[in-house]
Structure 1
Amino acid sequence: MSSGPYVWKERPLAAGIQIAVVGFGGFNIAPGTIGCFVRQGPKPGVVEADSPPYLLTAGHVLKPQKKGGITPIDARVYQPEPAGWINGVATTSEVHYAGTLDAGIALLDDDTKYRNYVWKIGDIKDIADPVDGMIVQKHGRTTGRTVGRITMSSYTYGDFHDLIQITFDKDNPANNAKRFGSEGDSGAPIMTGEGRLVGILHAVDDDGSGGYACKIRNIFNEMRLSLA
């Protein structure tokens, strides 16, 4: 697997850093980015006392498409990647890849600690709805921290709808890269400057000029999630 700049082992787990799943025999290591940590309840915003924590990322990170004739089938999630079969931290539980959601959760192992903190950005304090013109930033496994502006808060991209469209602020000095995102950044948290999570990264433009994110509110409502 190609190595990006944000691929170290981090414990407790944090958002904005690399995770990976693998295929049969350890082939086709597919990297992605942790979006946040959540709990699942009977309805959004309601969590039972014994509800376990999960990591949230893009659905296609946990169940990537077939590549090179081999379909990744391992439900285990590793951070940053497997060393043999070491570094396992979670097991895939639920994945959505249609409509408004490219999202999946993986149940954290009992001994896996975490913190709802986005690398280089700060604590996740709450969730929020996107607004046209809102300045946001993300931290992803490949391109690190980049800054953009929401140009459309309800956008159709391919087969997905009600996504967030973000235009890269290429001149912002806080950027770690010359493009908004790249392969491996999928699932990265999209944050406001006040520490509110508005979405997780779904895809980026080929030229790096922007990206598309699934709204965190849609994800939480559909999957009955709350911040852990």
Structure 2
Amino acid sequence: MDVLEAKQSLSARYLPLGFRSKVVARVQTMSVDEAVAGARLNVHAVGIGHKFVNGQATTDDMVVRVHVVQKIAPSLLSPRDRIPETIDGIPTDIIESAPAFALARRPKTAAGQAASASAAPTCSDSRKGKQRPLVAGISVAHRDITAGTLGYFCRSRRQGDSAQQVYILSNNHVLANVNKGYPGDDIYQPGPADGGDSQAYVADLVRFTPIDLSGAPNRVDGAIAKFAPDIQWRPEICTIGSINGTAVTAVGMSVCKHGRTTGYTEGIVTDIAYDALIGMDHSDASIVGLFQNQIRIESVSGAPAFGLGGDSGSLVVELGQKRGVGLYFAGPPSGNYGVANQISDVLSELEIELVDGADVAAIA
């Protein structure tokens, strides 16, 4: 058994229990009896990465990382409830962390204020306001949600689609309202939470990858939308610039993103092949998706958050190389870590390819 097989074994053992018990709603408790009683229902994610002690990796070898709502001393647990220290010789590591939720909320809230037009604001300064031409990394949303982030621009590879048509890329829960959207629905920039209304219409929803909420596995929370007539755009992300292709993530990779809420942030990939139960609605813990083969990213030391609500849809980019590696979609309320779809899965399931840096000169 290799480390991937060991991870899959533990995922299959613990995540169905977490799904049925609504683990995404669990919080830490001061009661030892309560903690012990719920020990087997404590796991919300399983990934592959390094083992850490006091913030330092103890080895270059990969281990299975089991993410729990609350760590409990093994001495308090029955053998049946203990997470094994090894599985067929593959070490495990237990990480205490809050479960993740999709980072855009479906119920509408009061409209926010657009960025001030004084003092020549930068793209990032105006990320919650109207921007024309469109760039990535700014507020966007389906007409019936609050706000998420315009991730990047893409072209379709689906047979019969025009190879020249350019689309907006973001999450299903940003552009399609967690499966509730229909092709042709209006997309606003900025999103409704940032003052967007029918006058902010910029695109029509084209297609999305449906999110299964039955406990069956998902890989992608993605959607694309077609520009409305006469909408101008530039193939770049606020602060980051244009993208030069894609790359496969690795544990320890330095990445960055620019999102509607937190702007430009940097992080480190801690887990690959990350399987997680993700809450899709902050107000209803029964609406949960199981996502497999994800990327887990922690904020860099000293930074409060890699992403927060409204940053969903941001393209995660390899730092320095400017290659797309993931599509950001979820994290805990603190934002101290985030979860992204593998970009290869996004491109495959949506049948698209990212617009690359060569298009900059063509459009300019």
Contact 1:40–1:226 (CA under 8 A) maintained in structure 2: yes
Once the two structures are superposed, the pairs formed by residues 70-149 of structure 1 within 5 Å of their partners are 75-81=185-191, 83-96=196-209, 97-98=211-212, 99-149=218-268
Q: Which has the larger radius of gyration?
A: 2
| TM-score normalised over the length of structure 1 | 0.84
- How far has the Cα of 1:49 moved from its partner? 6.0
| TM-score normalised over the length of structure 2 | 0.54
Task: Find the aligned partners of 1:182 and 1:93 in 2 and give their Cα distance.
Answer: 26
Q: How large is the RMSD of aligned CA atoms in angstroms?
A: 2.4
Task: Find the aligned partners of 1:48 and 1:58 in 2 and give their Cα distance.
Answer: 21
Greater RCO, 1 or 2 (C-alpha within 8 Å, sep 6+): 1
Amino acid of the structure 1 residue aligned with 2:291: F
Task: Find the aligned partners of 1:113 and 1:103 in 2 and give their Cα distance.
Answer: 22
1:216 to 343, 347, 356: 343
Amino acid of the structure 2 residue aligned with 1:127: T
Contact 1:14–1:114 (CA under 8 A) maintained in structure 2: yes
SS of the residue 2:347 aligns to:
helix
- How far has the Cα of 1:9 moved from its partner? 1.3
| Structure number with higher strand proportion | 1
SS of the residue 1:183 aligns to:
coil
1:8 to 101, 105, 129: 129
Task: Find the aligned partners of 1:84 and 1:184 in 2 and give their Cα distance.
Answer: 17
The answer for the alignment partner of 2:295 in structure 1 is: 164
Contact 1:15–1:119 (CA under 8 A) maintained in structure 2: yes
The answer for the alignment partner of 2:172 in structure 1 is: 59
- How far has the Cα of 1:110 moved from its partner? 2.9
Amino acid of the structure 2 residue aligned with 1:140: G
Contact 2:132–2:232 (CA under 8 A) maintained in structure 1: yes
Task: Find the aligned partners of 2:354 and 2:306 in 1 and give their Cα distance.
Answer: 25
Task: Find the aligned partners of 1:50 and 1:2 in 2 and give their Cα distance.
Answer: 37
Amino acid of the structure 1 residue aligned with 2:302: D
- How far has the Cα of 1:30 moved from its partner? 1.9
Structure 1 residue ranges without an equivalent (≥5): 24-28, 173-177
- How far has the Cα of 1:90 moved from its partner? 0.5
Aligned residues between the structures: 211
Alpha-carbon spacing, 1:141–1:192, altered in 2? closer, same or farther (3 Å):
same
1:154 to 238, 255, 273: 273
Alpha-carbon spacing, 1:207–1:223, altered in 2? closer, same or farther (3 Å):
same
- How far has the Cα of 1:136 moved from its partner? 0.3
Percent identity between the two aligned chains: 32
- How far has the Cα of 1:205 moved from its partner? 1.9
2:150 to 30, 34, 57: 34
2:309 to 159, 183, 186: 183
SS of the residue 1:126 aligns to:
coil
Task: Find the aligned partners of 2:345 and 2:181 in 1 and give their Cα distance.
Answer: 27
2:138 to 3, 11, 17: 17
Task: Find the aligned partners of 1:84 and 1:146 in 2 and give their Cα distance.
Answer: 28
Structure 2 residue ranges without an equivalent (≥5): 1-109, 114-124, 213-217, 278-289, 356-364
Task: Find the aligned partners of 1:90 and 1:49 in 2 and give their Cα distance.
Answer: 16
Alpha-carbon spacing, 1:85–1:195, altered in 2? closer, same or farther (3 Å):
same
Task: Find the aligned partners of 1:48 and 1:186 in 2 and give their Cα distance.
Answer: 27
Deviations 1:155-208 (A, max 9, x none): 011100100000111426xxxxx2111111100110112111111111012322
Task: Find the aligned partners of 1:204 and 1:72 in 2 and give their Cα distance.
Answer: 23
The answer for the alignment partner of 2:322 in structure 1 is: 195
- How far has the Cα of 1:216 moved from its partner? 1.1
Amino acid of the structure 2 residue aligned with 1:165: R
- How far has the Cα of 1:39 moved from its partner? 0.6
Contact 1:164–1:213 (CA under 8 A) maintained in structure 2: yes
